[in-house]
Each structure stands twice: as C-alpha cells, then as structure tokens.
Amino acid sequence: MENILQHTSKWLATAQHSLQRILHSTLMPLVTRLGGIEEICLMSARGMMGLFFIYFGLDKFVHYADTSIYMSAFSVPELFLPVVILLEVGGGIALLIGWRLKMIAGLLAAFTVLTALVFHSDFSEQVQTILFMKNIAIAAGLLLFVVLGAGRLSLDAQKPKKASKPKKAK
C-alpha cells in the first residue's frame, strides 16, 4: 500500500509541475497580452451579465402574450413590454461588447431593482424572496460596472480620448 501511495504522490507532483509549466508558457502570455486577469474578469463578467439580459429579453419577446398577462397581474400596462424587451436585449448587447457601459449598467441596475420591487416583493413566498435577492445581487454587479467601467477589452476603450484643454494662466 505504501508503495502505491509513493508512486501516486510522485505522479501527482510530476503532473502538477507539468501543468504549471504549461500554464506559464501558454496561458500567462495570453493573459498578459489581454491586459491581465482583471481585464479578463471584467470582460467575462460583462459577457455573462449581457447574456443574462439578452436571454430574458428574447424570452419575453417569444412569450409576449404570457409576459403581458403576467405584467398585467401586477398592474403594469402592456405598453411597457416592448420597452422592457428593448432595454434587456439592447442593454445586454451593450454589456456584452462594452459600449456606453457606465450609463447602460446604471440604467439596468435601476430597472433591475424596480423589477424586484414590483414583481418579487411578496416575501411570504420563499421563491419570490430568492428572486428578489437575485435581482438585488444583479443590480450590485451592475453598479460595480458603473464604478469600474468596461475595461480595456471593450468598445468604450476603443473611443479616442478627448484632448484636455490647456489651463489659462492667471
């Protein structure tokens, strides 16, 4: 038994060393070229959040009548549904590509909190409480984008920077 453990331990050490060598030789240069782990995390978070909004916006479009009935049960007029779909799909795409991110993220955060308050505030139902908290967590993530911006791997980063005006001497 001890012999098997020794061989397994040596194999694991060799595998770990090989994996570290592969990561340092291939993955680390890629991470560095993309701007570091922070930039990759910002891009990934934008992508996940964007896909979330796109999915649910398209779902509302596909199930338009059902969504309209659901909204009317909460006294929300049907005329808001096209606006909601446009906001979710358009805002999701903007998040995905990092376009006007601070403004879009702020708008989606406000929308998400409003949605939580209108549709998920029956805390006597556990599912509604969970959905409320999910929306609040999503809004919190969106507010981080308001603070941090889109990152270097975005359309916002591709915009030419405005030249600062020289200050007048007094």
| pLDDT of the residue at 11 | 83
Q: Is the dihedral of CA 98, 104, 109, 112 positive or negative?
A: negative
Segment of 23-32, 143-152, 153-162 carrying the highest mean pLDDT:
143-152
- Give residue 28's pLDDT band: very low, low, confident or very high (50, 70, 90): low
Q: Is the pLDDT of residue 168 over 70?
A: no
- Pick 25 or 104 by higher pLDDT: 104
Share of the chain above pLDDT 90, in %: 65
Task: Give the CA distances from residue 80 to residues 68, 121, 137, in Å, rounded to whole numbers and listed in that order.
Answer: 9, 20, 24
CB atoms within 10 A of CB 133: 13
pLDDT at 5 over 90: no
Domain residue spans of the chain? 32-155
